[in-house]
Amino acid sequence: MATVELTFSALPAHVRTARLVATAIARRTGVAEEILDEVRLAVGEACSRAVEAHRLHCPDEPVRIELRDDEGRFEVTVTDVAPSDDVTPRVLAANGNPMPEMAGLGLAVIAGLADDVEVLPGPKGMCIRMSWPASSNGAAATA
Amino acid sequence: MDLKLDHHSEDNLTIVDVEGEIDVYTAPRLRELLIDLVNKGNFHLLVNMEKVDFLDSTGLGVLVGGLKRVRAHDGSLELVCTQERILKIFRITGLTKVFGIYSSVDEAKEMHGRDK
Protein backbone atom coordinates (compact mmCIF):
# COMPACT_ATOMS: atom_id res chain seq x y z
CA MET A 1 0.00 0.00 0.00
CA ALA A 2 1.58 3.27 -1.14
CA THR A 3 0.56 6.34 0.79
CA VAL A 4 1.07 10.05 0.22
CA GLU A 5 0.27 12.38 3.08
CA LEU A 6 -0.17 16.12 2.75
CA THR A 7 -0.85 18.72 5.39
CA PHE A 8 -1.69 22.29 4.50
CA SER A 9 -2.64 25.49 6.26
CA ALA A 10 -6.37 26.14 6.39
CA LEU A 11 -6.36 28.64 3.54
CA PRO A 12 -8.78 28.50 0.59
CA ALA A 13 -5.90 28.98 -1.85
CA HIS A 14 -4.40 25.64 -0.77
CA VAL A 15 -7.53 23.68 -1.65
CA ARG A 16 -6.62 23.97 -5.30
CA THR A 17 -3.15 22.57 -4.55
CA ALA A 18 -4.72 19.62 -2.75
CA ARG A 19 -6.99 18.99 -5.74
CA LEU A 20 -4.06 19.02 -8.13
CA VAL A 21 -2.00 16.63 -5.98
CA ALA A 22 -4.94 14.25 -5.56
CA THR A 23 -5.63 14.23 -9.29
CA ALA A 24 -1.98 13.59 -10.13
CA ILE A 25 -1.75 10.68 -7.70
CA ALA A 26 -5.11 9.27 -8.81
CA ARG A 27 -3.85 9.25 -12.40
CA ARG A 28 -0.61 7.57 -11.34
CA THR A 29 -2.55 5.03 -9.27
CA GLY A 30 -4.52 3.96 -12.32
CA VAL A 31 -7.84 5.71 -11.85
CA ALA A 32 -9.53 5.92 -15.25
CA GLU A 33 -9.23 9.27 -17.03
CA GLU A 34 -13.02 9.70 -17.20
CA ILE A 35 -13.23 9.51 -13.39
CA LEU A 36 -10.45 11.99 -12.64
CA ASP A 37 -12.79 15.00 -12.79
CA GLU A 38 -14.96 13.35 -10.15
CA VAL A 39 -11.93 12.73 -7.92
CA ARG A 40 -10.84 16.33 -8.34
CA LEU A 41 -14.25 17.71 -7.41
CA ALA A 42 -14.91 15.36 -4.49
CA VAL A 43 -11.46 15.96 -2.95
CA GLY A 44 -11.95 19.70 -3.41
CA GLU A 45 -15.32 19.57 -1.65
CA ALA A 46 -13.90 17.61 1.29
CA CYS A 47 -10.92 19.96 1.62
CA SER A 48 -13.13 23.06 1.33
CA ARG A 49 -15.31 21.76 4.15
CA ALA A 50 -12.26 21.08 6.33
CA VAL A 51 -10.71 24.49 5.58
CA GLU A 52 -13.95 26.31 6.43
CA ALA A 53 -14.26 24.33 9.69
CA HIS A 54 -10.65 25.14 10.65
CA ARG A 55 -11.02 28.81 9.78
CA LEU A 56 -14.00 28.91 12.11
CA HIS A 57 -12.58 26.93 15.02
CA CYS A 58 -8.81 26.48 14.77
CA PRO A 59 -7.23 28.54 11.96
CA ASP A 60 -3.67 27.71 13.03
CA GLU A 61 -4.14 23.94 12.70
CA PRO A 62 -3.34 22.30 9.36
CA VAL A 63 -5.75 20.12 7.38
CA ARG A 64 -4.51 16.60 6.61
CA ILE A 65 -5.11 14.55 3.50
CA GLU A 66 -3.97 10.98 2.89
CA LEU A 67 -3.97 9.41 -0.55
CA ARG A 68 -3.58 5.65 -0.74
CA ASP A 69 -3.20 3.04 -3.40
CA ASP A 70 -5.07 0.23 -1.70
CA GLU A 71 -5.15 -2.96 -3.79
CA GLY A 72 -7.16 -1.78 -6.73
CA ARG A 73 -8.77 1.17 -4.95
CA PHE A 74 -7.63 4.78 -4.80
CA GLU A 75 -8.58 5.97 -1.33
CA VAL A 76 -8.55 9.56 -0.06
CA THR A 77 -9.04 10.56 3.58
CA VAL A 78 -9.44 14.22 4.52
CA THR A 79 -9.14 14.85 8.25
CA ASP A 80 -9.84 18.01 10.19
CA VAL A 81 -9.39 18.72 13.88
CA ALA A 82 -12.11 21.35 14.21
CA PRO A 83 -14.10 20.72 17.41
CA SER A 84 -17.50 20.88 15.78
CA ASP A 85 -20.45 18.54 15.48
CA ASP A 86 -21.41 20.28 12.27
CA VAL A 87 -20.09 18.22 9.38
CA THR A 88 -21.84 20.28 6.74
CA PRO A 89 -19.97 22.88 4.74
CA ARG A 90 -20.89 26.51 4.92
CA VAL A 91 -22.22 27.64 1.59
CA LEU A 92 -22.27 31.41 1.33
CA ALA A 93 -24.97 33.56 -0.14
CA ALA A 94 -24.27 36.51 -2.40
CA ASN A 95 -24.10 38.75 0.67
CA GLY A 96 -21.48 36.50 2.28
CA ASN A 97 -23.81 35.04 4.89
CA PRO A 98 -24.15 31.28 5.31
CA MET A 99 -27.13 29.75 3.52
CA PRO A 100 -28.71 27.11 5.79
CA GLU A 101 -30.78 25.74 2.92
CA MET A 102 -27.55 25.01 1.04
CA ALA A 103 -25.87 23.27 3.98
CA GLY A 104 -24.81 19.76 3.12
CA LEU A 105 -24.49 20.53 -0.55
CA GLY A 106 -20.76 19.76 -0.52
CA LEU A 107 -21.34 16.36 1.09
CA ALA A 108 -24.18 15.71 -1.33
CA VAL A 109 -21.79 16.40 -4.18
CA ILE A 110 -19.18 14.06 -2.68
CA ALA A 111 -21.78 11.33 -2.21
CA GLY A 112 -22.83 11.76 -5.82
CA LEU A 113 -19.29 11.54 -7.11
CA ALA A 114 -17.30 9.11 -5.00
CA ASP A 115 -17.74 5.40 -5.50
CA ASP A 116 -17.64 4.82 -1.76
CA VAL A 117 -17.91 7.48 0.99
CA GLU A 118 -17.73 7.41 4.78
CA VAL A 119 -18.00 10.40 7.12
CA LEU A 120 -16.47 9.43 10.44
CA PRO A 121 -15.58 11.17 13.68
CA GLY A 122 -11.80 11.67 13.77
CA PRO A 123 -9.53 12.01 16.81
CA LYS A 124 -10.68 15.62 17.26
CA GLY A 125 -12.78 16.56 14.24
CA MET A 126 -14.10 14.73 11.21
CA CYS A 127 -12.72 12.31 8.61
CA ILE A 128 -14.15 11.99 5.15
CA ARG A 129 -12.95 8.83 3.46
CA MET A 130 -13.77 8.19 -0.16
CA SER A 131 -12.49 5.81 -2.77
CA TRP A 132 -12.64 4.95 -6.44
CA PRO A 133 -11.62 1.91 -8.46
CA ALA A 134 -8.08 1.89 -9.79
CA SER A 135 -6.09 -0.63 -11.70
CA SER A 136 -3.83 -2.52 -9.32
CA ASN A 137 -0.73 -1.71 -11.35
CA GLY A 138 -1.61 1.80 -12.45
CA ALA A 139 -2.16 0.54 -16.01
CA ALA A 140 -5.03 2.93 -16.71
CA ALA A 141 -2.63 5.84 -16.56
CA THR A 142 -0.61 4.53 -19.47
CA ALA A 143 -3.27 2.63 -21.41
CA MET B 1 -6.02 28.60 -13.64
CA ASP B 2 -7.24 31.58 -11.65
CA LEU B 3 -10.59 33.24 -12.24
CA LYS B 4 -11.18 35.87 -14.93
CA LEU B 5 -14.38 37.89 -14.88
CA ASP B 6 -15.77 40.27 -17.45
CA HIS B 7 -19.20 41.67 -18.16
CA HIS B 8 -21.10 43.74 -20.67
CA SER B 9 -24.70 44.70 -21.26
CA GLU B 10 -26.84 44.07 -24.32
CA ASP B 11 -30.28 45.64 -24.24
CA ASN B 12 -31.77 44.62 -20.90
CA LEU B 13 -29.39 41.72 -20.31
CA THR B 14 -26.02 41.76 -18.53
CA ILE B 15 -23.70 39.01 -19.72
CA VAL B 16 -21.07 37.89 -17.21
CA ASP B 17 -18.18 35.99 -18.81
CA VAL B 18 -16.42 33.67 -16.38
CA GLU B 19 -13.15 31.90 -17.15
CA GLY B 20 -11.11 29.58 -14.94
CA GLU B 21 -11.91 27.91 -11.64
CA ILE B 22 -14.78 28.81 -9.29
CA ASP B 23 -13.97 27.37 -5.88
CA VAL B 24 -13.70 28.31 -2.21
CA TYR B 25 -10.78 30.62 -3.05
CA THR B 26 -12.12 32.43 -6.11
CA ALA B 27 -15.91 32.36 -5.54
CA PRO B 28 -15.88 35.51 -3.36
CA ARG B 29 -14.79 37.53 -6.42
CA LEU B 30 -17.75 36.28 -8.44
CA ARG B 31 -20.01 36.97 -5.46
CA GLU B 32 -18.74 40.56 -5.24
CA LEU B 33 -19.29 41.11 -8.97
CA LEU B 34 -22.86 39.78 -8.83
CA ILE B 35 -23.63 41.96 -5.80
CA ASP B 36 -22.15 44.99 -7.54
CA LEU B 37 -24.14 44.39 -10.72
CA VAL B 38 -27.41 44.01 -8.82
CA ASN B 39 -26.69 47.06 -6.69
CA LYS B 40 -26.22 49.03 -9.92
CA GLY B 41 -29.63 47.96 -11.19
CA ASN B 42 -28.69 45.01 -13.42
CA PHE B 43 -31.44 42.52 -12.60
CA HIS B 44 -31.25 40.25 -15.66
CA LEU B 45 -27.96 38.37 -15.59
CA LEU B 46 -26.61 35.73 -17.94
CA VAL B 47 -23.52 33.94 -16.61
CA ASN B 48 -21.50 32.47 -19.46
CA MET B 49 -19.67 29.45 -18.04
CA GLU B 50 -18.31 28.05 -21.30
CA LYS B 51 -14.72 28.76 -20.19
CA VAL B 52 -15.11 27.55 -16.61
CA ASP B 53 -12.69 24.71 -15.87
CA PHE B 54 -13.92 23.87 -12.40
CA LEU B 55 -16.99 24.58 -10.26
CA ASP B 56 -17.64 23.39 -6.71
CA SER B 57 -20.46 23.82 -4.19
CA THR B 58 -19.07 27.18 -3.08
CA GLY B 59 -19.56 28.43 -6.63
CA LEU B 60 -23.04 26.93 -6.72
CA GLY B 61 -23.83 28.78 -3.50
CA VAL B 62 -22.73 32.06 -5.05
CA LEU B 63 -24.90 31.47 -8.13
CA VAL B 64 -27.93 30.55 -6.00
CA GLY B 65 -27.31 33.62 -3.83
CA GLY B 66 -27.16 35.77 -6.95
CA LEU B 67 -30.39 34.23 -8.19
CA LYS B 68 -32.13 35.09 -4.92
CA ARG B 69 -30.91 38.68 -5.17
CA VAL B 70 -32.15 39.25 -8.73
CA ARG B 71 -35.46 37.51 -8.05
CA ALA B 72 -36.04 40.01 -5.25
CA HIS B 73 -36.17 42.58 -8.08
CA ASP B 74 -38.23 40.36 -10.42
CA GLY B 75 -35.02 39.67 -12.30
CA SER B 76 -33.37 36.54 -13.66
CA LEU B 77 -30.03 34.77 -13.47
CA GLU B 78 -29.46 32.19 -16.17
CA LEU B 79 -26.47 30.22 -17.33
CA VAL B 80 -24.72 29.24 -20.53
CA CYS B 81 -23.00 25.89 -20.15
CA THR B 82 -22.43 22.90 -22.39
CA GLN B 83 -19.55 21.23 -20.56
CA GLU B 84 -20.62 17.87 -19.24
CA ARG B 85 -18.31 17.97 -16.22
CA ILE B 86 -19.82 21.28 -15.09
CA LEU B 87 -23.40 20.27 -15.91
CA LYS B 88 -22.93 17.12 -13.83
CA ILE B 89 -22.65 19.07 -10.58
CA PHE B 90 -25.88 20.92 -11.40
CA ARG B 91 -27.60 17.60 -12.03
CA ILE B 92 -26.26 15.97 -8.84
CA THR B 93 -27.56 18.85 -6.74
CA GLY B 94 -30.87 19.18 -8.59
CA LEU B 95 -30.06 22.75 -9.60
CA THR B 96 -30.88 22.10 -13.25
CA LYS B 97 -34.47 22.71 -12.13
CA VAL B 98 -33.56 26.05 -10.57
CA PHE B 99 -31.45 27.66 -13.30
CA GLY B 100 -32.24 28.18 -16.92
CA ILE B 101 -29.25 26.60 -18.65
CA TYR B 102 -28.62 27.37 -22.32
CA SER B 103 -26.18 26.01 -24.85
CA SER B 104 -25.11 29.41 -26.18
CA VAL B 105 -25.30 33.10 -25.41
CA ASP B 106 -27.34 33.63 -28.58
CA GLU B 107 -29.89 31.01 -27.52
CA ALA B 108 -30.20 32.60 -24.08
CA LYS B 109 -30.58 36.07 -25.60
CA GLU B 110 -33.30 34.79 -27.92
CA MET B 111 -35.23 33.24 -25.01
CA HIS B 112 -34.72 36.36 -22.91
CA GLY B 113 -36.08 38.49 -25.76
CA ARG B 114 -39.19 36.31 -25.98
CA ASP B 115 -39.82 36.64 -22.26
CA LYS B 116 -39.68 40.43 -22.28
Closest chain A C-alpha to B56 CA, distance in angstroms = 7
Distance of CA B17 to the CA centre of its chain: 8
CB of A131 within 8 Å of a chain B CB? The answer is no
User: Is residue A15's pLDDT more than 60?
Assistant: yes
Q: How many CB pairs under 8 A join A and B?
A: 86
Q: For residue B11, what pLDDT band results from cuts at 50, 70 and 90?
A: confident
- B46: closest CA among B115, B104, B93, B116? B104
User: Across B26-111, where does the E strand assignment appear?
Assistant: 44-55, 76-80, 101-102
* pLDDT recorded at residue A103: 60
- B16: closest CA among B51, B65, B56, B58? B51
* pLDDT recorded at residue B32: 95
Assess contact for A98 and A52: CB atoms under 8 A.
no
State the burial class of residue A32 (Cβ atoms within 10 Å of its Cβ: 0-12, 13-18, 19+): middle
CB of A112 within 8 Å of a chain B CB? The answer is yes
Domain residues for the domain of B64 are 4-115
DSSP string spanning A1-67?
-EEEEEEE-S-HHHHHHHHHHHHHHHHHHT--HHHHHHHHHHHHHHHHHHHHHHHHH-TTSPEEEEE
Return d(Cα B80, Cα B82) in angstroms, integer: 7
Q: Which amino acid is present at A5?
A: E
CB of A100 within 8 Å of a chain B CB? The answer is no
The count of domains in chain B is: 1
* pLDDT recorded at residue B22: 96
Least confident of A75-84, A121-130, B3-12, B103-112: A121-130
Q: For residue A143, what pLDDT band results from cuts at 50, 70 and 90?
A: very low
User: Is residue B75's pLDDT more than 80?
Assistant: yes
Top residue of B22, B25, B58, B71 to mutate, by most chain A CBs within 10 Å, is B58
Q: For residue A115, what pLDDT band results from cuts at 50, 70 and 90?
A: confident
Task: Return the H-helix or E-strand segment holding B69.
Answer: helix B57-71
Sorted by sequence, the CB contacts under 8 Å of residue A127 that are 6+ apart come out as: A77, A78, A79, A118, A119, A120, A121
Return d(Cα B101, Cα B8) in angstroms, integer: 19
Return d(Cα B90, Cα B88) in angstroms, integer: 5
Q: Give the ipTM.
A: 0.84
Closest chain B C-alpha to A53 CA, distance in angstroms = 13
Return d(Cα A89, Cα A98) in angstroms, integer: 9
Contact call for A48 and B56, based on CB within 8 A: yes
Q: How many CB atoms lie within 10 A of CB A99?
A: 18
Higher pLDDT, A84 or A8: A8
pLDDT tens digits, one per residue of A86-97: 545 455 544 555
CB of A92 within 8 Å of a chain B CB? The answer is yes
Task: Please report the domains of chain A, with CATH numbers, ordered by start residue.
Answer: 2-141 (3.30.565.10)
CATH number assigned to the domain comprising residue B10? 3.30.750.24
Return d(Cα B67, Cα B78) in angstroms, integer: 8
